Chains A and B, each alone.
Chain A
Amino acid sequence: MSDEADKQNGAEAAARPERPEAQPPGYFEGESMTRRRAFTVAAQGLGGIAGAAIILPAVGFAVAPIFHRGKERWEGVGPVSDFVEDTYRQVVFTETEGIGDAGKTTAYVRKGSELFDEDPASIVAVSNRCVHLGCPVRFVEAAGNFICPCHGGVYDVQGKRIGGPPVRPLDQFQTRIRNGQVEVGPRYSVTSQLEPVRARDPGEFTGGIWEYLYPPRPSTFPPPS
């Protein structure tokens, strides 16, 4: 038996109903794809949906903290009379809850000065976190400077950088007075002119084009106006 006859399963060639030639080959009239291709696309599509259903929530779970802003936290650090305008007093308070001592941070607090603060009645709280890489700076009263032990960053009495690798002035904390108590609140960063901006991590410049190169993060609080 020849191959041709075998394909027809013994039926007479002439008895077969006339069918139009598939164009292109393998396609029936009105079809845009073959059955095999349709099933391949469908199977891969379903697989993709199943995969995305697992991966997208997992990735979202992992990156969600980027978009989450915690509760605003204010903590009393002592009566107003504790603070003077010509030197800093060191206060320790909790910035991150739930991790014990590791969540505490230090601020240097003073009363506003008539010499260089717009509002002498305000309270200034300077963070001790070096804006180079996050080491703790120390206020050296004899020199009137903040000095970082890690890489030699030096800041003046207002927290402006005067030496070493830091990229901007020291961060500050919002302050307010409630019932005669000084309270410190969320952290904010400042530009080289001490204008408040949203908190940036150490090592990131502030002001000008840097506000776009180091965009503000949704997890930080808006700066005081």
Chain B
Amino acid sequence: MKLDSLIPAPLRKPAKPGAGNGAKKDAAPADLKAAPPERPSDAKRLTDRAVEAPVDVLAWVDQRTAASGFLTGMLYRKVPKGTNWFYTLGSATLFAFIVQAVTGVFLAMFYTPSTTQAYASIAHINNDVFLGAFVHGMHKWGSSVMVIMIFLHMGRTFFFGAYKYPRELNWVIGVVLLILTMTMAFTGYLLPFDQRSFWASVVGININGTGPVVGPYLSDFLRAGPELGATTLSRFYAIHMLLLPGAIIALIGAHMYLVVKLGTTSPPWVRAEKPKPAKPATQLDAGTDGNGASPS
């Protein structure tokens, strides 16, 4: 309970209704009757202040934002019976996205989105920059992790029936997030500008082009012209690091708002508890089915 005292009162887990300790009220007067406490030492008072300082800061923020009500509601919300490890796949996807965002920011510090320098800047990151290969590797492999996690999360939602009323909108938002994630993976693939990423992007853009009527124009839009060129790379870079992350962050916010607002579902194998029959009825009908006959 020592840790509990560090949490500011508004953030503490609310006591269960009716669980208040009635005896405590009487305890206060008893304390008053006791001998006055000794004046604490300066050192003790300093440590007390030091312990209270962060609490005071949090309380100051809370008084001006009233965030604690929202936070306690969100952090201590009820989860249904049967919640298990499969329910962590969404958080895993979110974590993968955060890893991509953080490593991406640091990669952008060394990367040059120019056709003549992109490959060299990636080689510089991998070969010369301290921990560069590690950060680049996290971003590169992390993209696969995010795609895998988002599909597992989608599968969990589907097989647990968690997309049904009233959570259909969250399914739709999730599908948009899936498309954005795939677009993210597609646009990021070109950025190293080596042979593999160049030809993979050529093939990917051409697949986009096979859509009837709009396909050819979509390819031209993606390439910024009839051939893959210098502007294609900067276009993909802008989509990859400016347009899509903003859209993904906004939609993740909406996705999580609905998760907290609507709550999660039980796994399909958890049965709803049968309502208990009312007590008087059991006593009255004990041994009969209400028509005077004995239950078979």
Contact = CB atoms under 8 A, between A and B. Distances in A.
Contacts of B205: 201
B229 interface: yes
Contacts of B116: 99-100
A107 B50 CA distance: 77
Interface residues of A, number: 30
Majority DSSP secondary structure for residues of B touching A: helix
A106 B19 CA distance: 81
Majority DSSP secondary structure for residues of A touching B: loop
Given A63-B221, A68-B225, A215-B216, A201 B206 contact: yes
Interface stretch (B180-188, B196-204, B255-263): B196-204
A66 B203 contact: no
Contacts of B103: none
Contacts, number: 83
Contacts of A96: 225, 227-230
B187 to A, nearest CB: 14
B249 to A, nearest CB: 20
Given A98-B115, A201-B216, A217-B226, A135 B203 contact: yes
A214 B202 contact: no
Contact of A102 (B115, B209, B219): B115
Contacts of B193: 102
B8 interface: no
Interface in A107-131: none
Given A99-B230, A220-B226, A66 B217 contact: yes
Given A65-B231, A135-B199, A219-B226, A99 B221 contact: no
Contacts of B231: 65
Nearest to B193: A102
A68 B226 CA distance: 9
Contact of B216 (A99, A150, A217): A217
Nearest to B238: A62
B210 A204 contact: yes
Contacts of A207: none
Nearest to A66: B220
A98 B229 contact: yes
Contacts of B225: 65, 68, 70, 96, 219
Given A96-B228, A134-B206, A217-B220, 14 more contacts: A63-B221, A66-B217, A96-B229, A99-B115, A102-B115, A102-B228, A103-B229, A134-B199, A150-B203, A200-B216, A204-B216, A214-B213, A217-B226, A220-B226
29 contacts: A62-B221, A65-B224, A65-B231, A66-B217, A66-B220, A66-B221, A70-B225, A70-B226, A95-B227, A96-B228, A99-B229, A99-B230, A102-B198, A103-B227, A133-B203, A133-B206, A134-B202, A135-B203, A150-B203, A200-B216, A201-B205, A201-B219, A202-B206, A202-B209, A204-B209, A214-B215, A215-B216, A219-B220, A219-B226
